[in-house]
Structure 1
Amino acid sequence: MGGTISFDHDGLDKFANTDLKNFLDEFEKSEAYKAVVQFSSQGGSGTGAAGTPYTKLLPGYQTFPSALSLQNGFTGLCTTLAADLDTLGKQVLAAQRELRRTIRLMDTAHEEAMTAAEMLEVLNTVISAGGNKPTGK
């Protein structure tokens, strides 16, 4: 069940700054997403007249209860879907920001990290200053 996840700086950077950016760009430009928003309660009531896009389902004569019910149901579906897609976009954007922050932390940690040789040098200096060297016992 359990596993190990590993990543490197370049892979994380590509994911955050290229892959997620492309996803968000495509998401915002998507004609399907725009259509869902237009057919939702946020959209208009365009019927296709005078070059306006259809933004309301026209299932037939509205005096039929089933036609009005279908129209309202479809608007409700699109409203819910638009809200869910909006939430998804916000979550991906937040993940992208968090990944960028993680990359900055990794860069800072890398710059501040000491090599093993540097650490031994510091320890030798500290031990030498005390006058007592470990005997290894």
Structure 2
Amino acid sequence: GQKLTMDSALKLLLIKSANDIAVAIAETIGGNTDNFVAQMNAQAQRLGMNSTHYVNPNGLPGKGQYTTARDLALLALIIKREFPEYAHYFSLEGVTTGKKNYANFNMLVGRFDGADGMKTGFICASGFNQVASA
């Protein structure tokens, strides 16, 4: 397998929606995905995300996994407020790893002053989705 820095992994996770990288980050931080998901659920409850339950680290559909727009908005607000050192990740116009360039397809990034993309996604179960702020 390829080795990545955490910086590159986070960029790929946010720009490319790299679900495999979400799993790799979970295994690196939590030791395994089950431990990491347990930490995610504990943090969600601590933050008041009472309509959220995770079963995997990447957000792909899974039995028993759910959230709401309100809970995701709350999470985004807390990330921006408590972790300003990560703000630059949410407004990247793209990322380059090795010889590959990945563009950010979020139409807010770079087009509206103060707007960031935070996270976009698509799955058949919910369609297109986005968390953004300005």
If the length of structure 1 is used for normalisation, what is the TM-score? 0.17
More helix by share: 1
Q: Which has the higher contact order (CA 8 A, sep 6+)?
A: 1
If the length of structure 2 is used for normalisation, what is the TM-score? 0.17
- Structure with higher Rg: it is 1
